[in-house]
Amino acid sequence: MSVAVDLNRCQGYAQCAFLAPEIFTMHGDEALLYDPDVDETQREKLAQAAAACPVQAILVDAVDEKSAEAVSGAR
């Protein structure tokens, strides 16, 4: 499962870092760091973080579906 953050939209509200600290961390006041390759066990937290982002900057499963299928099919 992959996640991307549109850093042009992100305003550094840190809702995501509060809800899913395993995935998102704030670095300083506004810089957001995140792990783009999210483990399945974090899916619920990621969904909560994405829903809580005030500017909808968090894009879950940003890869197109065909490549996602190819990746899961290979496992």
Which residues in this chain contact ligand SF4 in the complex, by CB under 6 A?
5, 10-16, 24, 32, 53, 55, 57-58
Residue 57 beta carbon to ligand SF4: minimum distance, rounded to whole angstroms? 4
Residue 66 beta carbon to ligand SF4: minimum distance, rounded to whole angstroms? 26
Count the neighbouring beta carbons within 10 Å of the beta carbon of residue 9.
Answer: 13
H helices of 1-75, where? Answer: 15-19, 43-52, 65-74
Nearest to ligand SF4 of 9, 43 (CB atom): 9
**Total count of residues recorded for the chain:** 75
Non-local (6+) Cβ contacts of 67 within 8 A are none
Nearest to ligand SF4 of 52, 68 (CB atom): 52
Nearest to ligand SF4 of 6, 69 (CB atom): 6
